[in-house]
Amino acid sequence: MIPLSYYLVLAALVFCIGLFGALVRKNAVLVLLSLELMLNAIVLNLIAFSNFATPVTIKGQIFSLFVMVIAASEIGLGLAIVLFLYRKRATIEMDKFTELKG
């Protein structure tokens, strides 16, 4: 059986890659993909903790399904906003999006 620390290190690595991509990238689609990586790292942690804390129940897996549904809706809404802004500005670089500022 694989120890819990391996799962936590893998999830931390995936989360750090996603965080780096979200902070550094200027392309809006790549930022959305980086956010998806971060959410997948959270799901990995949920399932790992659920498996090691209470291996009989599947509470962590059910909660991770809710996180995946929220992530899918977030990506759908984010892509809709990016497509709308692309039609207006003909670019998907984050520096050019000024319509959302207050």
To which H or E segment does residue 25 belong? none
Residue-range domains of the chain with CATH? 4-96 (1.10.287.3510)
- What pLDDT band is residue 100 in, cutting at 50, 70 and 90? low
Q: What is the pTM of this model?
A: 0.81
- Centre a 10 Å sphere on the Cβ of residue 86 and count the other Cβ atoms it contains: 14
Dist. CA 39–CA 65, nearest whole Å:
11
To which H or E segment does residue 2 belong? none
Q: Is residue 102 pLDDT above 70, yes or no?
A: no
Dist. CA 57–CA 95, nearest whole Å:
46
Dist. CA 49–CA 11, nearest whole Å:
12
- What pLDDT band is residue 21 in, cutting at 50, 70 and 90? very high
23-39 residues labelled b (16+ CB within 10 A) or e (exposed): eebeebeebbbbbbbbb
